[in-house]
Amino acid sequence: MWCGLALLLSGGALPACGQPPAVSPPEQSRPGLASGRVIVKFRGDFDPSNAQSLGKLSATLGVTLRHLRPLAGGAQLLLIEGLTDSAHVAEIVAELNRRAEVEYAEADAPMRHQ
């Protein structure tokens, strides 16, 4: 019954009832990865809006990071300035994930329903 109601309300644009919609995962070849934007959730009291803290982190990574804005759930959107090579973005994300002050980091890539 719920499947029929949902199908009716959506205009027939639902995936198979009872199954989650297919979402394409971020890939290194996707243009969003080459944007240089990364989503990072920091542990503890690390403040990425503090230029000195972010400057130290940038220096250890060998890139220039810029804080763009806070996101939901305590994550932060950062920009790796001047970086457009998706492979290098992936390396920086991997390095961020190895750091003690980082809970998680991932490239900011668009997710699309298939």
pTM, rounded to two decimals: 0.68
At 109, the pLDDT band (50, 70, 90 cuts) reads confident
Average pLDDT estimate for 58-77: 95
Does the structure show a pLDDT above 60 at 31? no
Domain ranges within the chain, ordered by starting residue: 22-107
Architecture of domain 22-107: 2-Layer Sandwich (3.30)
For 68-73, which contacts have Cβ atoms below 8 Å and span 24 or more sequence positions?
68/37, 71/39, 73/41
- Residues in a beta bridge with 36: none
